[in-house]
Amino acid sequence: MIKKIQHMGLLFPLVIVCSFMLTGCPGPGDRITFDETTQVATIGSHLCFLVPESQDYQPTVIAINPRGTPPKSQNFNLKPDIKVADGKLCIPHSFYQFPDEGQFIVEYILASREDKKERRSVVVGVGVSEGHFYNFPLTNMEINRPYTEINQKIK
């Protein structure tokens, strides 16, 4: 009986160590972060995204791709030369020229200069019709949202 208990005492730590080796240690990278979305506005001739609670957040990555572009074919700008100002992130023509018609998925990451704040992932459906911008609703394959929101959209 004592030998069984000793073997159990060795077996339990071994199982724990093996499970961490197989699955990895839990940590902050294991948490799912959901995407935000926002409204678009035209200011002058520029497309702008409203950035609520902008504080000191600035874009670190941006992708503007036609809707339906496969992930391997998407283009990302890792150091965009655009800034959030007055609660808006505006895309000048010198950065990206939208055609007069089409639908685009715009994704960008906002990071704060303060390390304590989490990065914000924003995904926006942007349509262009006769040169005018508008929002369109994203599908569940285009944005990462909580299950509670997915279920509400289905009903």
Residue 78: pLDDT above 80? yes
Mean pLDDT over residues 126-131, rounded?
94
The share of the chain scoring above pLDDT 90, in percent, equals 65
- pLDDT surpassing 70 at residue 29: no
For residues 29 and 34, the model is more confident at 34
Going by pLDDT thresholds of 50, 70 and 90, the confidence category of residue 116 is confident
pLDDT band for position 155 (cuts 50, 70, 90): very low
DSSP conformation letters of 45-108: TEEEEE-TT-TT-EEEEEEEEETT--GGG---BSS-S--EETTEEEE-TTT----SSEEEEEEE
In the beta sheet, which residues pair with residue 124?
Answer: 106
- pTM greater than the 0.75 cutoff: yes
**Residue-range domains of the chain with CATH:** 28-154 (2.60.40)
pLDDT category, 139, cuts 50, 70, 90?
Answer: very high
Average pLDDT over residues 9-37: 69
**Least confident segment among 71-75, 113-117, 146-150:** 146-150
